[in-house]
Structures are given as C-alpha cells and as structure tokens.
C-alpha cells in the first residue's frame, strides 16, 4: 500500500487549483472577449439604427409602417410633420383617424392597407389626395408593401409616398398648353436646326392636308419651297440673332395648292436643343380684300380725277360767263345779287374739288417738305380773302416775320380753310383777327396762330361735332364739309394741334376762335 505524505497531497492540490484557476482565467478572457464583441455589436446596431433614422429623416419621401390592424408603429420625420404629430416618437399607437387627414382620406388609406395585407401583394403608385397638418391639400404618389415575420406571415405594412402636388400642377399646365397649341386656330410648326419638322398642331394638319405622322417625317422645304436648305440655314441664323421675326411666305399643301401666310417665327433653346417655333395664318382672304381695295381705290381715284377735271372745266366756264355777265350787264340791287350768289356757289364747288384733290395727294404719298415762313403765309391769306364781292369782310393781321415751320406747299391751305369757313358760315359784316406768337408747348417751342371772328359762333355741341369731323369720326350727315378733314390731315402731317374756343369766354354767340400750334422748325 502506497502512503502519501502530507506534503505530496498539498502539492497535488495546488496543481489542481492552479489548473482550475487557469481554466477560470481562460473562461474569464473568453467572457470578456464575448462581452467586447457584444458591445461592438450593440454599438454597431446602435450606430446602424441611428444611421437608418438619419437616412429616413433626410430623404424627401414620407415613410411609415403599421401593424396588421393598421396601427402605426413608426415613421420618418417628414411623415410626422405632414401628419401633425411633430416627431416620429409620437406616431406609435395612432391610426389614420388620429392624424391630419380627413375621415374620407383615412378610410381610403386603410382600405388600401387591407387590400395589400389580405392579398399579400404590393400596391404601387396610388395617386391620392391628402390634407396636410397646415390645412393644405396635397396629392400623393404612394407605394405600399406587406411586411412578414420569420415564418412568412403578414404582420404589417410598409408605406412610402411623395408629395406630387407641384408636379401634377406643372403637368396640368403643360397639358393645357399642349391642348391650347394643338387647338389653336392658326397653324403652328416647330423646326429643329436641320429644318426637320418636330411638331405640328391640328390647324397645320388641316391647312396642309397631311396627317401629323406625315408632317413629322418632312422638312420645311417640303411645305414651303421658298426655303430650300441653304436659305433656311441663313434664315435660322438671322432669327436666332433677332429672337423673332414676322414675315409673309407661301405654303404648299399636299394637293399643290399655294396659299399666302403671315408667319411669326421665334427662336428658343430648351435642354440644350434649339428650335424655331412658328405660328402662321392663312391670309388668302386678306390678300384678296387688299387687292379689291386697291382696285376700288384706283377706280375712285380715276373717278375723282375725271370728275375733278370735267367739273372743274365746267365751273371755270360758268365762272367766266357769270363774270362776263356782271361786267357787261352791270346789274344793280337784286339783279346783281342773283348773279353773285351762283358765282359764290361755283367758287365753293371749285374750292371743294381742290380740297378733295389735295386730300388725295396727301394720302397718296410723299410730298416734299421744307422750311416755310409762317408770317408770310398768313400775309398771303389776308391778301387772298380781302375784297370779297358782296360781303364786308375785314381781316386784321399784323405781319410777323422769322416764324419758321417745317411743312409743305399746302401749309397755306390749312389756314385758308379756317378763314373760308368763317366767311361761308356767317352773313353781313365780318371781322377776322389773325394772331401769331411763339409759345412753349411742353418740352418744345411752337408757333401759335389764332383765327378768331365775330360771326354767329359755334355752340359747344357743334364744336364737338366739328372736332369729330376733323378726326374723320363723324357720320356723313353730320359733317360740315371736307375742309376740316384737310385741316386735320395737314395738322397730322405737320405735327400740329388745333383747338376751338369761344371768342368771348362763356358766350359762343360772340364768335369763335381757332387755335393752331405748329412746332418751331429745328435750327431756326
């Protein structure tokens, strides 16, 4: 039998304890390593969660998730703000009925939830309205997908949506613009840099007789031979430089019919692409009307020339015979009056014909202008109207020199008509005072001519009619004669103005005053 000493037993026990201690230390190190891994994992989870929350809260979409009963479990910040709960922490446990949207909207949201979860099938791009917490009405593009547990069972729903209110409004405006252009009564053709047709509206299709598909396969020169490729390239550069141009051209439809159009073409650049956007209007009827108007005008001018010539010759013959009768017979009293009256009528007829010719001449084209001394012109007026047979007419004018205006040879007719009207629309003794002075008219200097008489005067109502007649706005029956039309035409040509006043303010029966203002000629 082996006998162990006390010393040997203790040594074995110590070794066993040391081995146990080593095992414990190893286990402690393993536990520490495991704990460190756990902490690292927990930190990673925490960091990942924070990152996920950071991501969710910074994406523009709204994100939310619910349980099987459509009770909210969580959301991102944008959803919380839209729902009116302030932050994602406040969403848990709430339903759609607790949030900012209307009850009808909440019902619709929950119906979609139920459909997705019951059929275990996602539902994408649900376009739906939603009232925001601030009262605004928005439109959403929503996606919903079912959530599953480890066993594949549906346990809830995940949803995302975008606020597409602005996009829908823009799309609506674009649709309205497209609809308006498509249905515009004028034709619209859009071209690219190579002259290829990129768009046509309905009116262009109707006018040209092609379908939209046919036109989109063509170039400009297929419908407008006046713009072959080389000319189109030059025109493109010119329109690009100016921005827009308006001109007339000829379109040709599929049947070979040529028709004139007035075309407005505009250069635009969109998404680095260049286009010419043109609108054109068929002006066939307008051209026909212009041709007819020109023909009618030519005929009217021919009649005016023929009548003016023939009537003028007859008037001159009658004037000659009446003047011979006055000189030969030397009648007195009533007999003389019987000859003077037709003599005056014939002179008025001659004056009328001359005024018509001058109006025609003014409207036909350029009449050379020059610098005229207004004082000399008015002196000539006084001389021409002095000594009228059968009338006691006195014209007072103190000659003034150095009053220059830019006008033409008809300047004298302007004032002759005013004086003639004063004489013809009065009877008995008549005094006409003509004044001339220089005054300031706003920012320029003018020569102011007054022609006033002590005749029967002009009522306020008649003044208005006369000014309307001068402007060509009165009805034919209201016009007082063609003289004022000539006066107005000359004033327009000379950049002048005219007023009619009472000679004695407030009493039109005391005579009238015509005030004409003409700009002082430059450099005089």
Helix (H, G, I), strand (E, B) or coil at 342: helix
Say which CATH topology domain 183-282 has: Beta-Lactamase (3.30.450)
Q: Which residues is 478 bridged to in the sheet?
A: none
C-alpha of 224 from chain center: 28
The full DSSP string for 372-391 is EEHHHHHHHHHHHTSS-TT-
Its CATH architecture, for the domain 59-161, is: 2-Layer Sandwich (3.30)
pLDDT tens digit string along 16-29?
878 877 887 788 78
Question: pTM higher than 0.85, yes or no?
Answer: no
Residue closest to 353 by CA, chosen among 416, 289, 309: 309
Residue 259 and residue 340: Cα distance in Å, rounded? 61
pLDDT tens digit string along 491-506?
888 999 999 999 999 9
Alpha helices in 183-283 (DSSP H): 202-208, 212-215, 220-223, 229-242
Point out the least confidently predicted range of 91-105, 118-132, 380-394: 380-394
pLDDT tens digit string along 442-469?
888 999 999 999 999 988 888 777 766 5
Looking only at the bridges linking them, the beta strands covering 137-148 and 393-397 are: unpaired
Whether residue 207 has pLDDT greater than 50: yes
Mean of per-residue pLDDT scores for the chain:
86
Q: Does domain 368-519 have CATH number 3.20.20.70?
A: no
Instruction: State the burial class of residue 54 (Cβ atoms within 10 Å of its Cβ: 0-12, 13-18, 19+).
Output: exposed
Distances (CA, A) of 334 to 69, 337, 339: 121, 5, 9
Using alpha carbons only, what angle is made at residue 369 by residues 365 and 372, rounded to the nearest 5 degrees?
145
The answer to whether the beta carbons of residues 175 and 182 sit under 8 Å apart is: no
């Amino acid at each position: 039998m082996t006998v162990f000493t006390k010393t040997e037993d203790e040594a074995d026990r110590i070794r066993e304890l040391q081995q146990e201690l080593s095992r414990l230390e190893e286990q402690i190190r393993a536990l520490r390593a495991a704990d460190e891994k756990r902490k690292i994992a927990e930190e990673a989870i925490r960091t990942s969660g924070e990152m996920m929350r950071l991501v969710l809260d910074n994406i523009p979409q709204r994100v939310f998730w619910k349980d099987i009963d459509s009770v909210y479990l969580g959301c991102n910040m944008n959803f919380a703000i839209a729902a009116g709960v302030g932050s994602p922490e406040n969403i848990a446990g709430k339903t759609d009925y607790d949030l900012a949207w209307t009850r009808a909207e909440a019902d619709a949201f929950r119906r979609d939830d139920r459909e997705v979860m019951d059929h275990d099938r996602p539902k994408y791009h649900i376009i739906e309205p939603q009232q925001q917490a601030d009262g605004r009405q928005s439109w959403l593009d929503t996606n919903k997908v079912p959530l599953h547990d480890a066993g594949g069972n549906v346990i809830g729903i995940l949803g995302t949506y975008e606020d597409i209110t602005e996009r829908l409004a823009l799309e609506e405006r674009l649709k309205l613009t497209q609809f308006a252009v498509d249905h515009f009564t004028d034709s619209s053709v859009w071209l690219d840099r190579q002259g290829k047709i990129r768009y046509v509206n309905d009116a262009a299709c109707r006018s040209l007789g092609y379908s939209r598909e046919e036109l989109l396969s063509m170039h400009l020169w297929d419908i407008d031979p006046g713009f072959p490729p080389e000319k189109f390239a030059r025109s493109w550069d010119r329109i690009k430089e100016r921005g827009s141009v308006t001109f007339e051209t000829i379109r040709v439809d599929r049947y070979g019919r040529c028709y004139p159009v007035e075309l407005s073409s505009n250069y635009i650049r969109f998404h680095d692409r260049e286009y010419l956007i043109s609108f054109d209007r068929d002006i066939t009827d307008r051209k026909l009307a212009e041709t007819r108007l020109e023909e009618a005008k030519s005929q009217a001018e021919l009649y005016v020339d023929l009548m003016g010539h023939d009537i003028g010759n007859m008037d001159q013959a009658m004037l000659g015979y009446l003047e011979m009768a006055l000189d030969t017979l030397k009648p007195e009293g009533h007999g003389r009056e019987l000859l003077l009256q037709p003599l005056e009528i014939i002179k008025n007829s001659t004056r009328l014909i001359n005024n018509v010719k001058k109006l025609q001449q003014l409207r036909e084209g350029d009449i050379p202008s020059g610098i005229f001394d207004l004082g000399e012109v008015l002196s000539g007026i006084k001389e021409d109207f002095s000594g009228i047979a059968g009338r006691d007419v006195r014209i007072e004018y103190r000659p003034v020199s150095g009053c220059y205006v830019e006008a033409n040879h008809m300047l004298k007719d302007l004032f002759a008509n005013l004086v003639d009207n004063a004489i013809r629309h009065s009877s008995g003794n008549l005094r006409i005072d003509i004044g001339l002075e220089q005054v300031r008219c706003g920012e320029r200097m003018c020569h102011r001519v007054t022609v006033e008489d002590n005749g029967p005067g002009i009522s306020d109502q008649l003044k208005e009619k006369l000014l309307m007649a001068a402007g060509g706005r009165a009805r034919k029956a209201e016009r007082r004669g063609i003289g004022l039309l000539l006066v107005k035409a000359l004033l327009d040509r000379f950049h002048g103005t005219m007023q009619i006043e009472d000679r004695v303010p407030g009493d039109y029966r005391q005579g009238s005053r015509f005030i004409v203002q003409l700009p002082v000629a430059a450099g005089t």
